[in-house]
Structure formats: structure tokens, C-alpha cells
Amino acid sequence: MSGPAPAPRGTVLLDLDGTISDPAGGVYASFRFALEQIGKPWPDGEPLAWIIGPPLRESFMLLLDDPERTAQALQHYRTHYAAGALYDNRLYPGMAEAIAALADDGFRLYVATSKLVSFAEKIVARFGLAPRFARVYGSSLDGRIDQKGDIIAMCLGTEDIDPETCIMVGDREHDVNGARANGLDCIGVTWGFGGAEELTAAQALTLCERPADLPGLIRRVIDARLALLPSET
């Protein structure tokens, strides 16, 4: 008879957009569609990378400065995105392998994203990654939970995760700040939308430049923390 399953090595929370996958095609198209529908089209050639990371409600509000128009734009965005734009999304090369390596090494994995949770679940499933994650956490439809810190807090509380052996991985300052608000460090990935300068300014624990390097980096961080914990014997 086999013995009890070994305890997980630790827990990793991974951001979705800009960390696991590049959603720019679908996000940009839906954002432009939403603004066109309310009579405020986005100028051609103007950058849009800044909208990936923060809650969309926040981004629309910055542009529109009107709660009612923001709500309308958000609904138009969601309609367009749900109609198929969410699948205009590209898995970063090497991320599937990195996630598999972490799961196979005993880490418990969660997605923690500001994207609407129903959209995030579909994208994770589309890439064939759902079996690797214990659960996907994201923003709520009613907007009560959409800040990264609140999403991380919901994950930690619901799953009873020990912050001492948990690390966040993300590409924007929102990931770093949301992690810090919950007593976590964040590894910043430079292949997303924030970049090394933003992540360094936000005081990410360290930076990762390639998905292939991520499993080893996480192992070193978590193993160092495990070594400092008091023995239960």
C-alpha cells in the first residue's frame, strides 16, 4: 500500500496576460470596438500596450472619466471579446514546458489574473494547461473584485496558502504591488508588457528573461525559504 502523497514544494501564482500568453490581438481589437461603439474611436497608431495588466474598468475610466460610459464600454468590450477575440491569443514559447516542469516538480499552481475569470478559464483550457493548475482566479463580473491585490488575497484565503512558500509571477507593476500587499514577493518576467524598468522600479524580487529559466529560478527561491522554516520534528 502506498504512503501519503508528498506535500507540495510550494505554491506559484501566475499572471495570465503578458506572462503565460500574449493576448494583444484580441484585447486591442475588443478595446477599439468598445470605444467605437460609444463614439470615441482610438486614434490609429496610438499605443495600447498600457491597457494590458490593469483592470479594464480602470483603463476605460482613465479615458472616459465617466462611470456610465465606462460601464457601457466595458460591456461592448466583453461582447466582442466573448464572440471570439479571446482566442486571438498566443502562448509564449516555452511557457507550456515551464508550467509542466513546475507542476511535475511538486509545485501547486494557480492563475491569478485581472482578466474576467470566465475568460481566463477558457483561455487556459484552450492552451491545454487546465490540468496543470489547481484553479484559475480572476476578476468578478460585477466588478467588486478586479484589483490584482484583491484577486491574490481571494486565492490565498480560499486555498489556505502559506505565504512563506508562495511566489507570484507577473509582467507588470500591478503584479508586484498586488503580491506585496499580500505579503508575497513577485518574480518579474520581461517578455510581457511591463518590461525590466517598470518591474525593477516596482521592486520585483528578481527578473526572468526567458520562460525556460523560470522553473529553476522559482525552485531556488522557494527552496531557500523552505530551508529557513523551522523543522516540524
pLDDT in tens, 176-226: 999 999 999 999 999 999 999 999 999 999 999 999 999 999 999 999 988
Q: CB neighbours of 162 closer than 8 A, spacing ≥ 6? A: 11
| pTM attached to this predicted model | 0.92
β-partners of residue 21 are 17, 91
Residue 22 annotated to the active site? no
Distance CA 160, CA 177 (A): 21
Neighbour tally for 49: CB within 10 Å: 14
Tens of pLDDT, residues 97-136: 999 999 999 999 999 999 999 999 999 999 999 999 999 9
Query: How confident is the model over 49-85, as pLDDT tens digits?
Result: 999 988 999 999 999 999 999 999 999 999 999 999 9
Residue 1: its pLDDT value, please?
A: 35
Sheet holding 10-14, edge to edge: 135-139, 107-116, 10-14, 166-170, 185-189, 206-208
pLDDT at residue 195 in the model: 95
Q: Which of 15, 146, 150, 175 is catalytic?
A: 15
Q: What's the pLDDT at 27? A: 96
pLDDT 10s digits, 2-26: 333 444 789 999 999 999 999 999 9
Q: Which pLDDT score is estimated for 2? A: 39
Count of Cβ atoms closer than 10 Å to residue 40 Cβ: 13
For residue 11, the surrounding DSSP H or E stretch is: strand 10-14
For 10, 12, 43, 182, the CA distances from 161, given in Å and listed in that order, are: 9, 10, 44, 11
For residue 130, the 8-state DSSP code is G
CA dist 154 and 138 (Å) reads 9
pLDDT recorded at residue 5: 40
Burial-class residue 148 by CB neighbours within 10 Å (0-12, 13-18, 19+): buried
Contact by Cβ (8 Å): 51, 17? no
Q: What is the pLDDT of residue 7?
A: 47
Burial class (CB in 10 A: 0-12, 13-18, 19+), 171: buried
Cell of 215: 522553473
